[in-house]
Amino acid sequence: MKLVVVAVGQRIAGWAQAASDEYARRFPPELHFEIKAVKTEARGSKSLATLLAAERERISAAIPSGSRIVALDERGSALSTLGLAQRLAQWQRDGVDVALVLGGPDGLQPAFRQAAHERIRLSDMTL
């Protein structure tokens, strides 16, 4: 199984890369983990819809073909740590690749959010 985190942002911060490397070492050997940073669209005079559409194109290009798309969104279903672990175990049993997608400062395009196979939130708080 491949687990890919696709995050909209300029680049992955050093501390975030170090943390993800540490957690990746804890995963079972058959689970391949990767983080892909997708460039935030330059604002300028563009409308929000135009910005989100451009980011959606980049996100879609970064998602491996055939992956189950899970949007991390504040309006998604709440999951506890145990719930997330159980969901990850289920995805492994199903043998599907999974892309966890995090939007940028403006979130994810509504149509992309709706098209995702699943929407989850890890907390009521956003960072």
- Other C-beta atoms closer than 10 Å to the C-beta of 41 total 19
Residue 127 within a domain: no
Candidates 1, 31, 39, 37; CA nearest to 16 is 37
Residue 126 within a domain: no
pLDDT in tens, 17-53: 899 889 889 888 888 999 999 999 888 899 999 999 9
pLDDT in tens, 70-125: 999 988 999 888 998 899 999 999 999 999 999 998 999 999 999 999 999 987 76
CATH code for position 61: 3.40.1280.10
Residue 29 within a domain: yes
Task: List the domain range (segments joined by +) for residue 40.
Answer: 2-66+78-121
Domain count, the chain: 1
